[in-house]
């Protein structure tokens, strides 16, 4: 049976920049509000049961400012990326998610801030830089939009700009299985495994060219592709066994060094 088809992507939000000012102001004022923990309380158990989600090497996420960079194939990737780490994360999400009503309230009070699709949205970067200056963790997708095929696409320069001009480390994240989450309407729930790579550190540059931004973004996406390919090769169970073997080997090395 073929996968459920996605709705056509909307690449431009017709609403004016001024409409989103209040969301950026709220995001810049401080940490995510109570809706973050409420959403986490509801969504994490659901993911554990429905998708048997497992996180590998989550200790690679450092304290302090950090950019989490996952591949993007599902509307659930925001939650998959943050489920296995203890710290709160902030999300840069497409502006179309900010629709009047309950979704807008939950997102804006839960640490999410908008980026206007089809526009050079400098406000989104101002918010992202402010949050990183405050020592927070931000999720940003190197590919920009969601993959329609499950295959990893091409990197957009935005991630490179954020990494280079902030100096924050970037943790590449591979999510295996999220592409078929769309089949939940058919009561098909794929297993999902999330692997956190070693942090990547770039020399901080005050001003960057588009070429420099693209080069950095490509480098991050290449690391994600390597992690994702390894996950596919090992499979969900094999990847977990390999992680346990690495942990045991690390404990033995630590004990021998004492």
DSSP string, 151-179: S-----HHHHHHHHHH---EEEEEEESGG
pTM: 0.90
Tokens at 48, concatenated: 């554990």
- Percent helix, strand and coil across the chain, each rounded to 5? 50, 10, 35
- Res 20: pLDDT: 93
pLDDT band at 120 (very low <50, low <70, confident <90, very high): confident
Let me know the angle formed at the C-alpha of 252 by 250 and 253, rounded to the nearest 5 degrees. 65
The pLDDT tens digits for 158-172 are 999 999 999 999 999
The pLDDT tens digits for 211-251 are 999 999 999 999 999 999 999 999 889 999 998 988 888 88
Mean pLDDT (whole number) for 6-18: 76
Tokens at 157, concatenated: 């320069």
- Res 10: pLDDT: 62
Most confident of 58-62, 98-102, 119-123: 58-62
Question: How far are the Cα atoms of 8, 78, 91, 127 from residue 95, in angstroms, in the given order?
Answer: 16, 15, 12, 14
Residue 1 in this model has a pLDDT that exceeds 70: no
DSSP string, 89-115: -EEEEEGGG--TTHHHHHHHHTTEEEE
Mean pLDDT (whole number) for 192-196: 96
Mean pLDDT (whole number) for 47-74: 94
In whole angstroms, give the CA distance from residue 230 to residue 50. 24
Mean pLDDT (whole number) for 69-84: 91
**Would you give the distance in Å from CA 129 to the centre of its chain?**
16
Q: Work out whether the CA dihedral 138, 143, 145, 147 comes out positive or negative.
A: negative
Question: How far are the Cα atoms of 35, 117, 121, 156 from residue 12, in angstroms, in the given order?
Answer: 28, 5, 12, 16
pLDDT band at 5 (very low <50, low <70, confident <90, very high): low
pLDDT band at 115 (very low <50, low <70, confident <90, very high): very high
Q: Which of 198, 181, 204, 87 lies closest to 138 in space, CA to CA?
A: 87
Mean pLDDT (whole number) for 139-149: 84
Mean pLDDT rounded to a whole number for the chain: 89
pLDDT band at 119 (very low <50, low <70, confident <90, very high): confident
- Say which range, 59-68, 176-185, 189-198, has the weakest mean pLDDT: 176-185
Residue 135 in this model has a pLDDT that exceeds 90: yes
Name 64's bridge partners.
none
- Sketch out the chain's domains with CATH numbers: 17-257 (3.40.1130.10)
């Amino acid at each position: 049976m073929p996968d459920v088809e996605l709705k056509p992507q909307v690449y431009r939000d017709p609403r004016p920049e001024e409409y989103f000012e209040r969301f950026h102001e709220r995001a810049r004022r401080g940490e995510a509000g109570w809706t973050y923990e409420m959403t986490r309380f509801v969504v994490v158990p659901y993911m554990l049961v429905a998708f048997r989600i497992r996180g590998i090497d989550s200790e690679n996420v450092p304290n302090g400012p950090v950019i989490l960079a996952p591949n993007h194939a599902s509307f659930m990737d925001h939650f998959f990326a943050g489920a296995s780490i203890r710290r709160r994360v902030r999300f840069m999400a497409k502006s179309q998610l900010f629709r009047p009503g309950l979704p807008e309230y939950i997102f804006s009070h839960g640490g999410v801030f908008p980026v206007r699709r089809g526009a050079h949205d400098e406000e989104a970067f101002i918010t992202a830089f402010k949050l990183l200056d405050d020592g927070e963790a931000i999720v940003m997708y190197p590919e920009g939009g969601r993959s329609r095929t499950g295959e990893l696409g091409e990197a957009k320069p935005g991630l490179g700009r954020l990494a280079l001009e902030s100096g924050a480390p970037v943790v590449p994240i591979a999510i295996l299985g999220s592409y078929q989450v769309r089949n939940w309407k058919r009561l098909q729930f794929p297993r999902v495994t999330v692997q956190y790579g070693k942090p990547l550190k770039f020399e901080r540059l005050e001003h960057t060219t588009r070429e420099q931004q693209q080069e950095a973004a490509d480098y991050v996406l290449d690391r994600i592709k390597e992690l994702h390919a390894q996950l596919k090769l090992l499979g969900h169970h094999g990847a977990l066994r390999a992680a346990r073997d690495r942990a045991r080997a690390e404990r033995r090395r630590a004990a021998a060094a004492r």
